[in-house]
Chains A and B, each alone.
Chain A
Amino acid sequence: AQKITQTQPGMFVQEKEAVTLDCTYDTSDPSYGLFWYKQPSSGEMIFLIYQGSYDQQNATEGRYSLNFQKARKSANLVISASQLGDSAMYFCAMREGGGSNYKLTFGKGTLLTVNP
């Protein structure tokens, strides 16, 4: 079974509107972290936001927020007030366990296109 599932291969949003990118995960480990990365067409991976399994509050970073629903095992990324520069691939990733295990498992990604 896939550990990270992103069911939206592509999404379109109008500039200045909000958009939600879906991510569900599968783990039996009580300790895990969830990350979102943005990959523009140039290729670099840009860290956006983190949510820990024990965090009580949903993470927020500027225009990015994470809708964390632990019981549903979902960690959706919400981008508010979309900008043209937000057009990119977005990857959800998970790190399981604690200690020195820093391996990330990535979902297949969602290609977001922001229309003017």
Chain B
Amino acid sequence: GAVVSQHPSWVICKSGTSVKIECRSLDFQATTMFWYRQFPKQSLMLMATSNEGSKATYEQGVEKDKFLINHASLTLSTLTVTSAHPEDSSFYICSASRRQGRNQPQHFGDGTRLSIL
């Protein structure tokens, strides 16, 4: 069964709205979670690493004021797209590793399709 839950699955909203996406680890504690963005027919691009109890680490070119990440508990990370515009429309997906270790895969949520009108 799913080990990472992401909500909502779909969001359609007007330009200028802020949108919050939740990522939960279901039966394990995740000190680190990852947020990716995927455009149609393209690969996953890492946006940021979410660290429980501390600031997120953003990848180069990702606006931290635009994409706010909060990892307030060991099972929940949130991504808020602030004042969203049509160019922010994309597929956002989070992941976490169930256990530490080099060979441990990241488990992904089902993703959120964001459409800004």
Contacts and interface: CB of A to CB of B under 8 A. Distances in A.
B108 A33 contact: no
Nearest to B111: A43
Given A43-B110, A44-B108, A44-B111, A103 B102 contact: no
Interface residues of B, number: 24
A43 B91 contact: yes
A68 interface: no
Tell me whether chain A's interface is mostly helix, strand or loop, or mixed: loop
A33 B111 contact: no
B111 A91 contact: no
Contacts of B110: 42-44
A37 to B, nearest CB: 8
B60 interface: no
Contacts of A108: 42-43
Contacts of A107: 43
Given A44-B108, A44-B111, A31 B46 contact: no
A43 B113 CA distance: 9
A105 B36 CA distance: 11
A31 B44 CA distance: 23
Contacts of A98: 102
B100 A100 contact: yes
B97 interface: yes
A109 B43 contact: yes
Contacts of B97: 102
A45 B103 CA distance: 17
A96 B95 CA distance: 17
A107 B44 CA distance: 8
Contact of A35 (B42, B45, B105, B113): B105
A45 B108 CA distance: 6
Nearest to A91: B43
28 contacts: A33-B103, A35-B105, A35-B106, A37-B108, A43-B91, A43-B93, A43-B110, A43-B113, A44-B108, A44-B109, A44-B110, A45-B44, A45-B111, A47-B105, A47-B107, A50-B105, A52-B103, A91-B44, A100-B100, A102-B97, A103-B34, A103-B46, A104-B46, A104-B95, A104-B106, A106-B45, A107-B43, A108-B43
